[in-house]
Structure 1
Amino acid sequence: MEPVHLTTERLELRPFTTADVPAVHTACQDPDIPRYTSVPSPYTTEDARVFVEERCPRDWDEDSAYTWGVFTRDDGRLAGSMCLVRLAYLHTPERQAELGYWTAKEARGRGYTVEAAREVIRWAFEDLGVERLEWYAEAGNEASRGVALKAGFRMEGTLRSKIPYNGTRRDAWTGSLLPSDLGMPTQALYLPFPERG
């Protein structure tokens, strides 16, 4: 797929370019980003270059992941990264994907990641025809969970031993979001399990 540009009131979501390598490198020096994502640690300039110039364009081209740089519209600063992954499921009856993100330290606490997530979610449901979005993060990552909740995800529980990190396996929180949760139409019939009181 050709990379897609998205905009919100305060943000521009666009593919990373070579000019963004220094900002990506700087952002990923924050220990919380490699701690809670798959970003390598230590994170080198070459890691940033490979991510920006090779991996992200290849992923768009192969429809394996769609990654956007999240930039503020007023000054063009990098606020973070937003992606849809596990897109192989889009081409099956499951029609689902996973939302992932990180936020640059200086941009935290301003609602940028929630704003970007809502726009990517809208695009995924309306334009891609996704029928289920998933989110997961290491159990204890309250910031990521807070973004997911504000974006509309419903928490589903804890996945035991889901995330390998530094030689240990860690539990993950997981949640999902359906178009109907946001009042959006969907082609999929859904038969929820009845709640028992």
Structure 2
Amino acid sequence: MEKFTKITGVAAPMPLVNVDTDMIIPKQFLKTIKRSGLGVNLFDEMRFNQDGSEIPDFVLNQPAYRNAQILVAGENFGCGSSREHAPWALLDFGIRVVISTSFADIFYNNCFKNGILPIVLPQEDVDKLMDDARRGANAVVSVDLENQVITGPDGGEIGFEVDAFKKHCLINGLDDIGLTLQKVDAIGGFEDRYKTAAPWV
């Protein structure tokens, strides 16, 4: 998993509430078990017409936001089913940070396990960042995970809270497999001892 320390990029405004995981990545794209390749289908039904042409009004189709790395979202983002494909699609598109007043629990935890930082803020702070994000190409925001600070286009700072263990994992690029591999010597030692103690197994 790619390490996360500080991201500076364009923030895209998406003030919709209750954006569920089927909106993030519709069910017909869940056939893959690969983490890559889903970005083209992110928000598919909101981004594209049935003939495959883009819907110009959708925020991520607008020139200023095509390379957005930060998403400022409405409340209860990521609700619905528990599909891990949702953070996969966001990450593959290039989104590394999602900011909202609230997230569905499973989606929230899946983000950390896939290199995305979900940030929960009070409504007034989200409103401020939403206004900043509406500046288009000038909506450049920095998110410093180590110091837990968001810096807006005008230099204003907003602090945020994050679980210490989840922060450690993101900064060090550790998903569940990476955490397990940190114990590889202990695991190997146990296996060796077990083979000696129970050679018939």
Higher share in helix = 2
Structure exhibiting the larger radius of gyration computed from Cα positions: 2
Structure with higher RCO (Cα < 8 A, 6+ apart): 2
Higher share in strand = 1
TM over 0.5: same fold? no
TM-score by length of 2: 0.29
TM-score by length of 1: 0.30
